[in-house]
A and B are shown apart, each in its own frame.
Chain A
Amino acid sequence: MLTRRSLLFTAAFALLCHCTQSSPTTNEGISGRANKGKLTIKGSDTMVILGQRWAEAYAKVDTLAVVQVNGGGTGTGIAALINGSTDICQASRSMSDKEREELLAKRGVPAVETTVALDALAVFVNDKNPLQEISLPALARLYTGEVSDWQQVGGPTHGVVLYGRENSSGTHGYFKERVLGGKDFAASTQTLAGTSAVANAVNGDEFGIGYGGIAYLEGIRALRIRKDDASPAVAPSLASVQDGSYPVGRFLYFYTAGDPSSDIKRFIDWVQGPDGQKVIGDVGYYPLPKGRRL
Chain B
Amino acid sequence: MTATAPTITPQSPDPHASLRRKPRLGERLTELALRTVALTSIAAIVLILAFIAREALPVFAGGTVGESGTSFDLLASERLADGTEQFLWRPVSQPPTYNIVPLVVGSLKVTLVALFIAAPLGIAAAIYVSELAGKKQRELIKPTIELLAGVPSVVIGFFALIVLTTWVQQVFGTEHRLNALTAGIGLALAVCPVIFTISEDALQAVPHTYRTAALALGSDRVQMIVRVVVPAALPGILASLVLGFGRAIGETMIVLLASGNAAIVSGSVGVSTRTITATIAQELGEVVVGSDHYHVLFALGTVLFASTFVLNFAGERVIHGLRKKLGTA
Q: Contact between A193 and B256 (Cβ–Cβ < 8 Å)?
A: yes
Q: Contact between B282 and A193 (Cβ–Cβ < 8 Å)?
A: yes
Chain B residue numbers with a CB within 8 Å of A79 are: 285-286
Q: Contact between A161 and B285 (Cβ–Cβ < 8 Å)?
A: no
Chain A residue numbers with a CB within 8 Å of B94 are: 182
Q: Contact between A167 and B92 (Cβ–Cβ < 8 Å)?
A: yes
Q: Is the contact region of chain A dominated by helix, strand, or loop, or is it mixed?
A: mixed
Q: Contact between A168 and B262 (Cβ–Cβ < 8 Å)?
A: no
Chain A residue numbers with a CB within 8 Å of B285 are: 72-73, 75-76, 79, 168
Q: Contact between A190 and B262 (Cβ–Cβ < 8 Å)?
A: yes
Interface size class of B (residues with CB under 8 A): 20 to 34
The docked-state distance in angstroms from the alpha carbon of A105 to that of B161 is 42
Tell me the chain A residues, 153-208 only, with Cβ under 8 Å from chain B.
Answer: 159, 161-162, 166-168, 182, 184, 187-193, 197, 200-201, 204-205, 208
The docked-state distance in angstroms from the alpha carbon of A217 to that of B277 is 30
Encode contact with A along B267-300: 1 for CB under 8 Å, 0 otherwise.
Answer: 0000110100000001101101000000000000
Tell me the chain B residues, 153-187 only, with Cβ under 8 Å from chain A.
Answer: 161-162, 165-166, 175-178
Given contacts A75-B286, A168-B286, A201-B178, is CB(A191)–CB(B261) below 8 Å?
A: yes
Q: A79, A102, A187, A189: which has the most chain B beta carbons within 10 Å?
A: A187
The docked-state distance in angstroms from the alpha carbon of A255 to that of B288 is 18
- Say which residue of A166, A187, A204, A208 sits within 8 Å of B102 (CB atoms): A187
The docked-state distance in angstroms from the alpha carbon of A218 to that of B93 is 32
The docked-state distance in angstroms from the alpha carbon of A184 to that of B94 is 8
Nearest residue, chain A, Cβ from B87: A187
Chain B residue numbers with a CB within 8 Å of A166 are: 261, 282-283
The docked-state distance in angstroms from the alpha carbon of A187 to that of B263 is 6
Q: Contact between A102 and B288 (Cβ–Cβ < 8 Å)?
A: yes
Q: Contact between A187 and B88 (Cβ–Cβ < 8 Å)?
A: yes
Chain A residue numbers with a CB within 8 Å of B260 are: 190-192, 201
Chain A residue numbers with a CB within 8 Å of B271 are: 188
Chain A residue numbers with a CB within 8 Å of B257 are: 193, 197
B53 within 8 A of A: no
Tell me the chain B residues, 49-105 only, with Cβ under 8 Å from chain A.
Answer: 86, 88-94, 102
Given contacts A188-B262, A190-B262, is CB(A167)–CB(B282) below 8 Å?
A: yes
The docked-state distance in angstroms from the alpha carbon of A102 to that of B90 is 23
Chain B residue numbers with a CB within 8 Å of A204 are: 165-166, 177
Given contacts A184-B90, A187-B263, is CB(A167)–CB(B177) below 8 Å?
A: no
B264 within 8 A of A: yes
The docked-state distance in angstroms from the alpha carbon of A117 to that of B263 is 34
Q: Contact between A168 and B283 (Cβ–Cβ < 8 Å)?
A: yes
Q: Contact between B282 and A191 (Cβ–Cβ < 8 Å)?
A: yes
Chain B residue numbers with a CB within 8 Å of A187 are: 86, 88-90, 102, 262-264
Q: Contact between B261 and A192 (Cβ–Cβ < 8 Å)?
A: yes
The docked-state distance in angstroms from the alpha carbon of A192 to that of B288 is 21
Tell me the chain A residues, 77-94 only, with Cβ under 8 Å from chain B.
Answer: 78-79
Chain A residue numbers with a CB within 8 Å of B92 are: 167
Nearest residue, chain B, Cβ from A74: B286
The docked-state distance in angstroms from the alpha carbon of A193 to that of B262 is 12
Tell me how far the C-beta of A238 lies from the nearest C-beta in chain B, rounded to whole angstroms.
31
Query: B residues engaging A (CB < 8 A)?
Result: 86, 88-94, 102, 161-162, 165-166, 175-178, 256-257, 260-264, 271-272, 274, 282-283, 285-286, 288
Query: A-B pairs with the 3 shortest C-beta distances?
Result: A75-B286, A168-B286, A190-B260
Q: A191-B261, A193-B256 are in contact. List 20 more A-B contacts (CB 8 A).
A: A75-B286, A79-B286, A102-B288, A166-B282, A167-B91, A167-B92, A167-B282, A184-B90, A187-B102, A187-B263, A187-B264, A188-B264, A188-B271, A188-B272, A190-B178, A190-B272, A192-B260, A193-B282, A197-B257, A200-B161
